[in-house]
A and B are shown apart, each in its own frame.
Chain A
Amino acid sequence: SQQGEEDPQALSIQEGENATMNCSYKTSINNLQWYRQNSGRGLVHLILIRSNEREKHSGRLRVTLDTSKKSSSLLITASRAADTASYFCATDVGSARQLTFGSGTQLTVLP
């Protein structure tokens, strides 16, 4: 079953614009992570935010977490054509340490 759900399912923007993707989840979490996947290849870990953190930055990435609303957002600033990929949120719940992924947002950055 999918714990997280991303919104929107697809997003198309111009190079230089900002892209925002949202993730909602159902149960309490240890942490939430964002991954990128290019054309059905392996997943690349982007950023991890712990349940006691509210905001985290990494380069052009900004992640927020609202545990009261069980939601997270990923902001990519000044997007580039190379950012074109699918983006997934994944939650780490309990002691299981298994990641539960959402269905992803397909981001297209047009040159």
Chain B
Amino acid sequence: DAGVTQSPTHLIKTRGQQVTLRCSPKSGHDTVSWYQQALGQGPQFIFQYYEEEERQRGNFPDRFSGHQYPNYSSELNVNALLLGDSALYLCASSLPGRADTQYFGPGTRLTVL
């Protein structure tokens, strides 16, 4: 049983560009959450998707948007990249009705130059 997968593993972009990160949840999981982890810090909640809709959102600007597909996979889009967006982006999935226990993917390392 594959766990949570994310692509790509690493990404380098320049300021002002746009980026799309992808996540496939663990089998049987229907809820996907995204987190941003800056170097040396704990992860910060970006948003959570359930039934193809954004259910909760953290303190992130509208430049951060997402999508969930009918197969529960999800995308994180970031527009107008800033240097401060450089971070590890983590996706987590959870079972129906069990969003308290989240399983994390390996992350995508985004570097903005």
**Please, could you name 24 A-B residue pairs with CB atoms under 8 Å apart, sorted by A?**
A30-B100, A33-B101, A35-B104, A40-B39, A41-B107, A42-B105, A43-B43, A43-B90, A43-B104, A44-B104, A45-B101, A45-B102, A48-B100, A88-B42, A92-B100, A97-B31, A97-B48, A97-B56, A98-B48, A99-B45, A101-B44, A102-B42, A103-B42, A104-B42
What 0/1 readout, one digit per residue, does chain B (70-113) give for beta carbons within 8 Å of chain A?
Answer: 00000000000000000010101000000111111111010000
Q: Which residue of B lies closest to A30 (CB)?
A: B100
* Set of chain B residues within 8 Å of A102, measured between Cβ atoms: 42
**B residues near A, CB below 8 A?**
4, 31, 33, 35, 39-45, 48, 56, 58-59, 88, 90, 92, 99-107, 109
User: Which residues does chain B contribute within 8 Å of A41, judged by CB atoms?
Assistant: 106-107
For the complex formed, measure the closest distance between the CB of A98 and the CB atoms of chain B, giving whole angstroms: 4
Interface residues of A (CB under 8 A from B): 1-2, 4, 30-31, 33, 35, 40-45, 48, 88, 90, 92, 96-104
Inter-chain pairs besides A45-B102, A88-B42, 11 sampled, C-beta below 8 Å: A30-B100, A41-B107, A43-B43, A44-B104, A88-B43, A96-B56, A97-B31, A97-B99, A98-B33, A98-B58, A104-B42
* Distance in Å: Cβ of A41 to nearest Cβ of chain B: 5
The minimal Cβ–Cβ distance linking B107 to chain A, given in whole angstroms, is 5
A104 partner residues in chain B, CB cutoff 8 A: 41-42
CA distance A50 to B93 in the complex (A): 20
- Contact (Cβ within 8 A) B43 A101: yes
CA distance A92 to B92 in the complex (A): 14
- CA A43 – CA B34 in complex, angstroms? 13
**Complex Cα distance A65/B95, Å?**
25
User: Are B59 and A42 closer than 8 Å at their CB atoms?
Assistant: no
